[in-house]
Amino acid sequence: MASTAPDLDLTATAQSTGARRIILDGRVQGVGFRPFVYRLATEYGLAGWVFNRLGQVEIHVEGDERALREFEHDLTERAPQLARPRISASGPCHRESPDGFSIRSSSRAGAAEIHLPPDLFTCNDCLAELNDPADRRYRYPFINCTQCGPRYTLIRGLPYDRPDTTMAGFRLCTQCRREYENPADRRFHAEPVACPVCGPQLEFHVPGHTQLRGTAAALAAIKALRAGQLVAVKGIGGYHLVCDARNDHAIGELRKRKPRPHKPLAVLFPAPPGKPLSCVTRAVFLARDQADLLLSPGRPIVLARRRPDCPLSNLVAPGLDEIGVMLPYSPLHHLLLNDYGAPVIATSANISGEPVLTENAVVEERLGHVADAFLHHDRPIERPADDPVYRVIGNKPRLLRAGRGNAPLEIDLPFSLSKPVIAVGGHMKNTAALAWQNRLVVSPHIGDMGTARSLAVFEQTLRDLQSLYEVAATAIVCDAHPGYATTRWAERSGLPVHRVLHHHAHAAVTCLPDLAADKRLVFAWDGTGYGADGTLWGGEALLGRAGNWQRFASLRPFQLPGGERAGREPWRSAAAVCWETGTGWPDLPDTAGLLRHAWERRINSPQTSAAGRLFDAAAALTGICLVASHEGQGPMELEAACHTAGSPVALPLGKSGSGVWLSDWEPLLPMLLDNGRPAAERAACFHASMAATMLQQARQARTDYGITRIGLSGGVFQNRILTERAVELLTADGFRVDLPDDVPVNDAGISVGQIIEYAALHRSPDAA
């Protein structure tokens, strides 16, 4: 990429002069694009102006024709690192002979073509100033410029100007205003720009004690951490609960108070200047793609394998061999971690399953029983954004949760919608999606929809998406489950409602980006979801394409005692498969027989074909996990127990009376109950058997319909062992396998699949 303009003889008479009007869209606001254009035009000796429109940048530029061509080329080739510009229009225009090049005030004229920037990690220039005792922003925890700092979580409206952000209440001091108004300065129109004189301040508070502000607040937080206390720290998109990641007592207290007995906790590591990975690599093994992810602009949580000599407490991720690790992304995090000099737990400050908390008073009220102290600041957070999470599966990073740093996710659709529509997702791991024309925008992670706060944030998210992008939905797409909170909300909305089966939405995600491709077989495996026959699906092989799926194959169904309770009590799934087959289980917890009595009478025992519940049963029958304190605990611990490749047990495949092929899991039970074999061996055998079952069903689809393309979607495919084994088997057998990477395979991707299913039936007549 060129760094300077080529030598041009701008005085040569042989060169003609001209004028051009250029319009760019994409991510061009909130990333320092106008100052870049100013510097580039000045470099080429061109005159004219640049200004923001609604989501676009418009340029009028005049000068030497060759310089104009080079200028236009470099607008995209030399754009700021975080910009994603696209030239949407360019052509000659009338000369106006301006005096030099200028940056004009933003305009709200014209059609909106809005692209919201995500929150940005602290750039190297700001880090250097943060650590420079001679700089006026030395140790200032809210330092930022056009290349870094909060965006999505502080924007109230567009165009992206300071009065339309949560920084509107902070009046710039003389020095900051001078930087803000200087086109040659990297803080030119950096809307969150501030300094210790005029900007936000830290506040440290222990209930019942006097508050400390500024530097004293940060030092007090460090002192509290050294004393083994739990500190709620306000960041960019919400609060974290923070404590020493090496301290068993502190982590034990966090788990007891929250309560969060077993769910893994994310760890935030110091990132020393010049060697940012030196601390994290003492705790986990990092492949090159994992290291690149940690250092990427989103600064996500990355799952990585724990080292045998890992210095972290075993309470960080009990029963698992991977830890969620991340690096500091805000200046406050850099200050705290550099001063503390050791990794800390940084888990979302929320009530379990809810969106992360963002307001100072609310976090003290709702988490006063958890945190010993609070490190607040007075910059308001407009909307919550939790940390994004990735896992490398099949040698490629896979998004498990979108959030701060990569959301809202903006996806170009391979079709055009005739009218705007909103998809409201599912019940767990909820996200919402707004689609119009050929654009799709997915919200950050919202959470589980079982509480009033989750519903309030969900409703705020829907309002924000429509108001920020200036698009009003004309219809709503929801899950077919009649009991989901999102479904009930859709029914109350007053807009036309379109219902999509849960597993059809999962399957549709694998159809991006080429909806016109041939039929495929998609394995939609998860915990449970509402099926077309009213039973709980979750082990489905769906044949077809977006908008037209048929249930080709599934897993042998069984009655699930206790219904939803089985998700947190894996032994119930184990009991069900044993009762279903007349198999004895000596360790059955239901010693009184009351549950079996209810099961035999089909009382609160819905039928399910869910693969996720079979993983639960395997976790319980092997003795690995009988009772779970969080969703997915049994399958996660079952996967972690696999240390070698297992030998599969062949499962019979036969056709049901309804014409659906069913794989029978009964032959797995003797192996799973064989206590003479190590649990790890049985876990590996189970994974190998499930992967082999997928291959068997895929071969049947090829025999019956000539299918050669396979998709994998649903929460079960967060399991690296299963997914990699299945992909290996299917690929070796001649199948092409599609596995989403930019959209989560779990229920966080349901809103995307709902849009695709809707679009397959409602796209514009002239759409590709």
Average pLDDT for residues 40-49, to the nearest whole number? 95
Rounded to the nearest 5 degrees, what angle is found at the Cα of 266, between the Cα atoms of 240 and 747?
95
Question: Tell me: the pLDDT tens digits for 675-696?
Answer: 999 999 999 999 999 999 999 9
Collapsed DSSP state (helix, strand, coil) of residue 42: helix
The lowest-confidence range among 54-58, 476-480, 624-628 is 54-58
pLDDT of residue 29: 81
Residue 768 confidence class, pLDDT cut points 50, 70, 90? very low
Residue 388 confidence class, pLDDT cut points 50, 70, 90? very high
The lowest-confidence range among 6-10, 371-375, 470-474, 670-674 is 6-10
The lowest-confidence range among 5-19, 358-372, 601-615 is 5-19
**4: pLDDT strictly greater than 70:** no
Q: Where does residue 168 rank: exposed (0-12), middle (13-18), buried (19+ CB within 10 A)? A: middle
Average pLDDT for residues 651-661, to the nearest whole number? 96
Query: Which amino acid, residue 531?
Result: G
Residue 580 confidence class, pLDDT cut points 50, 70, 90? very high
Average pLDDT for residues 630-644, to the nearest whole number? 95
Of 244, 325, 318, 251, residue with least CA distance to 283: 325
pLDDT of residue 16: 85
Average pLDDT for residues 408-413, to the nearest whole number? 93
**240: pLDDT strictly greater than 90:** yes
Does the model's pTM come out above 0.85? yes
Q: Helix 331-340 vs helix 215-226: angle between axes, to the nearest 10 degrees?
A: 50
Over pLDDT 70: what percentage of the chain? 96
pLDDT of residue 514: 78
Average pLDDT for residues 497-511, to the nearest whole number? 97
Higher pLDDT, 54 or 192: 192
Over pLDDT 90: what percentage of the chain? 86
Collapsed DSSP state (helix, strand, coil) of residue 501: coil
pLDDT of residue 15: 57
Encode 638-699 in three state secondary structure. HHHCCCCCCCCCCCCEEECCCCCEEECCCCHHHHHCCCCCCHHHHHHHHHHHHHHHHHHHHH
Separation between Cα atoms, residue 463 and residue 57, nearest integer Å = 25
**8: pLDDT strictly greater than 50:** no
pLDDT of residue 112: 65
pLDDT of residue 2: 40
Question: Tell me: the pLDDT tens digits for 293-310?
Answer: 999 999 999 999 999 999
Average pLDDT for residues 665-677, to the nearest whole number? 98
List 344's β-bridge partners, or say none: 244, 268
Question: Tell me: the pLDDT tens digits for 435-479?
Answer: 999 999 999 999 999 999 999 999 999 999 999 999 999 999 999
Residue 385 confidence class, pLDDT cut points 50, 70, 90? very high
pLDDT of residue 285: 98
Average pLDDT for residues 205-217, to the nearest whole number? 93
**Mean pLDDT, the chain, whole residue set:** 93
Q: E strand or H helix at 433, and its extent? A: strand 433-442
Residue 72 confidence class, pLDDT cut points 50, 70, 90? very high
How many CB atoms are closer than 10 A to CB 386?
22
